[in-house]
Amino acid sequence: MDRREFFGKMGPLDDAGLRKALWNLYWRGTAAMRARIEAELTPHAQGRRQPPARPTVDPAWVLDQARDFIALARSGAYMGGDRRVSRQERSRWRLTFQRLVAEAQQALLSPDGHVAGGAALAELIDLANDTRGYDYFHSEDPMEAARFVVSDAVTVLWRRLLQEHGFAGFAERAAPQLIRWESRFGWTRTGFGALREKECSLASVLTGMSRSPDMWIGFADSYLAALDLAARDDAARPKQSWPGPDRVRDGRTEALSEWHGLLLAKLKDYGADDRLDRLSKHGALGGAELTFLQAKLANARGDVGGARSLVHQALGSKPGHKGFLEFAGAIGAPLPPQAQRIVKERSLPIPVVAQA
């Protein structure tokens, strides 16, 4: 509408109708719109106007906006050829993403908005995590472009969950998120750069939040329950799906390797060996990283022969893995031929024990 048409539409409204229309615009509008309305409502005759206070957000509205943005991104609308997203918006997606993250965090930290704000932030983190493998935007490295530090956002979310639900409720909610979001090399595509230096593992975030043996054991229980659900989801995947079930399990285990090492170090001293047994044989995990976990568990229990055999098996799949090689050298495990060649080529200070 032009100015004349707009005033024509507004003409029939009485004072109450005008107030309602202005309220809807204020409450549902952007932060900039709310600030401008507040400025218009401030009397000019009362000296110098103070800058408007930081406006509150409607948590339900933030969640709706985040879900709309995520749905458009996943549908390919930001890649072009879709009238629902303008050409200008396609090039400004990172600004929209940054605004939604800021508003989700603001809602999360508000007294009554933690549920909707937490849901919005979690779904935005899901999208950020997926951008490592899918092209949703015209950016070579989406999270680098958006300057979004995933581990910082997860820390904000998990601290609020802990504050609101206590440790047991936090663990129940955070364990599935740890499985979905943990990444061994961060959340940028390149794995290096200024943003990567600001990231930390989610395992280290959890370490700072788990201050007692009961907390470690309690989170381990929630983690194992979440792995049970992941195993059921794996079993329900179509056999011809990509990536296949084995690849999903191997990738999951690799991403969570630091967390598994922390659990092994803590739980073996807390009388929770039964949890370690379940973890080392869990159907949601697999590949060389699981074999390596079994090797470390065997060594911790004094079964050096079993540990040597298991790490040798792990090196058969990943002969150049630095952690595997160092552990094999520490316990005197024989190295497969390819691993021996790699040790010599790299001049690594690892004793080469040939396979008998």
What's the rounded Cα separation, in Å, for the pair 18 and 11? Answer: 10
Cβ–Cβ < 8 Å for 204, 182: no
| pLDDT at position 303 | 97
Residues of the chain whose pLDDT is less than 70? 43-55, 354-356
For 173-217, how does the pLDDT look when each residue is reduced to its tens digit (9 = 90+)? 999 999 999 999 999 998 888 898 999 999 999 999 999 999 999
| pLDDT at position 57 | 87
| pLDDT at position 45 | 43
Residue 8 within any structural domain of the chain:
yes
Q: What b/e sequence results for 59-96 when a residue is b if at least 16 CB atoms lie within 10 Å of its CB, and e otherwise?
A: bebbbebbeebbebbeeebbeeeeeebeeeeeeebbeb
Residue 232 within any structural domain of the chain:
no
Cβ–Cβ < 8 Å for 266, 216: yes
β-partners of residue 354 are: 335
| pLDDT at position 17 | 82
Residue 65 within any structural domain of the chain:
no
Q: How many CA atoms lie within 13 A of 153 on its CB side?
A: 31
| pLDDT at position 356 | 56
Residue 160 within any structural domain of the chain:
no
- Secondary structure class of 335 (helix, strand, coil): strand
Question: How far is CA 78 from each of CA 33, 72, 89, 150, 246, rounded to the nearest angstrom?
Answer: 25, 7, 8, 21, 32
Q: What is the DSSP letter of 252?
A: H
For residue 146, the tally of other CB atoms under 10 A from its CB is 20
What's the rounded Cα separation, in Å, for the pair 208 and 284? Answer: 26
Residue 295 within any structural domain of the chain:
yes
Token pair for 291: 């074999």
| pLDDT at position 245 | 84
Residue 163 within any structural domain of the chain:
no
Closest Cα to residue 36, out of 12, 55, 58? 55
Residue 115 within any structural domain of the chain:
no
What's the rounded Cα separation, in Å, for the pair 353 and 343? Answer: 11
| pLDDT at position 51 | 53
Question: How far is CA 310 from each of CA 20, 277, 316, 347, rounded to the nearest angstrom?
Answer: 70, 15, 10, 24
Q: Hey, what long-range contacts does 313-322 have (CB within 8 A, 24 or more apart)? A: 314/288, 314/289, 315/339, 317/287, 317/288, 317/291, 318/288, 321/288, 321/292
For 274-310, how does the pLDDT look when each residue is reduced to its tens digit (9 = 90+)? 999 999 999 999 999 999 999 999 999 999 999 999 9
Does the model's pTM come out above 0.85? no
Residue 133 within any structural domain of the chain:
no
Q: What is the DSSP letter of 78?
A: G
For residue 280, the tally of other CB atoms under 10 A from its CB is 18
What's the rounded Cα separation, in Å, for the pair 206 and 107? Answer: 23
Cβ–Cβ < 8 Å for 314, 295: yes
Domain count, the chain: 2
Backbone angles phi, psi at 189, to 5 degrees: -75, -30
Q: Print the domain residue range for 13.
A: 1-44
What's the rounded Cα separation, in Å, for the pair 339 and 314? Answer: 11
193: left (phi over 0), alpha (psi -120 to 50) or beta: left
β-partners of residue 335 are: 354
